[in-house]
Copies of this chain bind each other. A is one copy, B any other.
Amino acid sequence: MEPLDYLAEERSKASFDVEEMKIIWAGSRHAYDMSNRMARLVASDSIFRKDNRTMLSRKDLFKDTLRKTAHAVKRTVELNLSEEESMTLWSYVDQPAYANLHRGMFIPAIEGQGTEEQKRKWLPMAYKMQIIGCYAQTELGHGSNVQGLETTATFDPETDEFVIHSPTLTSSKWWPGGLGKASTHAVVYARLRTNGQDYGVQAFIIQLRSLDDHSPLPGITVGDIGMKFGSGAYNSMDNGFLRFDHVRILRNQMLMRVSQVTREGKYVQSDVPRQLLYGTMVSVRQIIVSESSCALSRAVCIATRYSAVRRQFGSQNGGPETQVINYKTQQSRLFPLLASAYAFRFAGEWLKWLYTDVTKRLKANDFSTLPEVHACTAGLKSITTSATADAIEECRKLCGGHGYLSCSGLPELFAVYIPNCTFEGDNIVLLLQVARILMKTVAQLASGKKPVGTTAYLGRVEHLMQCHCEVRRAEDWLKPSVILEAFEVRAARMSVSCAQTLSGFSNPEDGFADISSDLVEAAVAHCQLIIVSKFIEKLQQEIPGKGVKTQLENLCNVYALSLLHKHLGDFLSTGCISPEQGALANEQLRLLYSLVRPNAVSLVDAFNHTDHYLGSVLGRFDGNVYQKLYDEAWKSPLNDTYVPDGYHEYIRPLLKQQIHTARL
């Protein structure tokens, strides 16, 4: 028997080679094969099931996470998986756990900030998970401003130890994942004090729990910080708090690659350039951008498939109603998000290249591109995560009422995704960092300093300040050069305008604070330009597969023109684009939607998500939505009995008019 496929007709409409698109999306044939294998491995393993996750109590959810983590480690050993395979397998398990922090933050912190000796001591234990570590930086009262941390590490020359202490309530470590219940160790950030002086924030490795029985060590108060957004979602993680009461650690537990404290208590800085530490930040943020395309693709896949299944209104002569994906209102909300998924994918790919490039340069002591690279990764992290968070919720709304059910997968996807907007740099704070570099770049133009990389267009600012858009017909908006110039003009003029306003302030910092929300908008414009330009660059490469390039061109244009429509005020304010040209862009956008429509389901098939990974009744590959919704409903805990618990105490007395005497 043929497997059921309610979406077969949709799939037959595609005018491109879906299998080739899958490889483009994955990045390479190798990446596709590997991730396909891992996805199916996870999907077929009952220990990794997650369809009941939102119904578990906090304790059961946490225990389930511990079990999945152990099982993933076990499978990695049994199947002799590579590091890459193991990470990919874990990403398909799709449940935040202490292991993410152990692998993603604790180990890299030691690798980046430990001396060779320290690395030899700690890393083998960490790799083997003989110790489990977390990354304890954020405090109850201190997040973005790392320099404001209050935990102290005071050197005691008499015993050759540091005394770690939490002097105030607000100095309690707060939020670190894996800290609450699982970790035995932590990299802890604390203010170094020695010889009566404060040397700012340094990192220390500190044991928190006994390796014998897991109980907290003396002087350590540690626990879970409580419930977080949503059901399931990040509640699988033991984000924790941690307080120190004069805890003593050995001097060699300070991570000393960059700074040291000598036996005598003298603070010394090594000749390792501090900038090297930025490399890690670029790497982490590149991963976040890449993951944003992944989260967004899941939401878009669910909403697109369901929009093709769902029908509403428009029935003629008793025939079926219209698929909601045919409505322009649905298309104008959904297709820009579909296009964004692809745009962010390619931006992530490019960032990966950038990371390799900057790593090479740093090794050769070339720090010249670092500020620009920093701005670029900070900015892309900010705008891709903000856009993805909003997009997941928009996709949920696009699924109508049923999107509100947990089994749609979208509520949990939203709840688990949104911390991306806050961690690894609050998105607004990051945009202000971008703006700072933009203002510096504009200020240096006068001195003849040529901007590099993604800020290179600012070198053509004189041209950009004068040019006028040449669009006369809607289809003129399909030219990459036209789009690129429009985005460059917008970004350049917004930066220049901010710089001009700033120059009117006697104190530049006051000015920066005063116009900071304009600066944020200028930074957004700059970052959107980067994404548009990287998408266009991608399309200048050779792209194999029937029709694949055409589809990507359509999506690139949808991405750019929908942004233009959304931020029309920016574009019109520059004077480069007229209202008529803006209206033509909108007209072209409508035509593009018609081109995307028949390919929409296949464009989300190309993400190659398994039903397990999507975790959505509405996004099922086979489109058999209604039967599965009905089956899922029966699993509700409230359906264990016909008459609900509480009926006799709280409903029956009402019905029988005995409420006045009822004991509640």
A binding-site residues for B, Cβ under 8 Å: 47, 54-55, 57-59, 62-63, 66-67, 69-71, 73-74, 77-78, 128-132, 138, 140-145, 148, 169-170, 172, 174-175, 180-182, 184, 211, 213-216, 223-231, 234-235, 238, 241, 311-313, 315, 321, 327-329, 331-333, 393, 397, 400-401, 404-407, 411, 415, 418-419, 421-423, 426, 428, 432, 513-518, 520, 565, 567-575, 579, 582-583, 586, 590, 626-627, 629-630, 632-640, 642-647, 649-655, 657, 659-660, 662, 664
Contacts and interface: CB of A to CB of B under 8 A. Distances in A.
Identify the interface centre among A515, A567, A636: most chain B CB within 10 Å of its CB. Answer: A636
Identify the interface centre among A180, A315, A432, A572: most chain B CB within 10 Å of its CB. Answer: A572
A405 B229 CA distance: 6
Given A579-B572, A638-B238, A407 B148 contact: no
A336 to B, nearest CB: 11
A227 B636 contact: yes
Contacts of A213: 643
B54 A227 contact: yes
Contact of A62 (B406, B644, B664): B644
A143 to B, nearest CB: 6
Copies of this chain: 2
B514 A590 contact: yes
Contacts of A517: 328-329, 331-333
Contact of A569 (B59, B69, B516, B569): B569
A227 B407 contact: yes
Contact of A145 (B321, B397, B516): B321
B182 A644 contact: yes
Contact of A626 (B141, B432, B629): B141
Nearest to A223: B639
Contacts of A514: 328, 590
Given A181-B644, A241-B630, A572-B573, 19 more contacts: A57-B637, A59-B640, A63-B650, A130-B655, A175-B401, A181-B647, A223-B634, A226-B633, A227-B405, A227-B636, A241-B633, A328-B513, A329-B428, A329-B520, A331-B517, A404-B422, A518-B586, A568-B568, A573-B579
A329 B432 contact: yes
A67 B646 contact: yes
A645 B569 contact: no
Contacts of A640: 59
23 contacts: A58-B636, A58-B637, A59-B644, A59-B645, A63-B650, A66-B646, A66-B650, A74-B660, A77-B659, A140-B626, A141-B626, A148-B315, A175-B401, A214-B642, A225-B405, A227-B406, A228-B411, A230-B231, A231-B235, A328-B515, A329-B432, A329-B516, A401-B423
Nearest to A47: B664
Contacts of A214: 642-643, 647, 651-652
Given A143-B312, A645-B59, A638 B405 contact: no
Give 3 nearest A-B pairs by CB, closest first.
A568-B569, A66-B650, A63-B646
B332 A654 contact: no
A38 to B, nearest CB: 19
A226 B632 contact: yes
Contacts of A662: 70, 74
Contacts of A328: 513-517
A70 B405 contact: no
B419 A404 contact: yes
A339 B595 CA distance: 41
Nearest to A331: B517
B638 A406 contact: no
Contact of A401 (B143, B321, B659): B143
A156 to B, nearest CB: 24
Contact of A216 (B315, B573, B633, B642): B642
A196 to B, nearest CB: 15
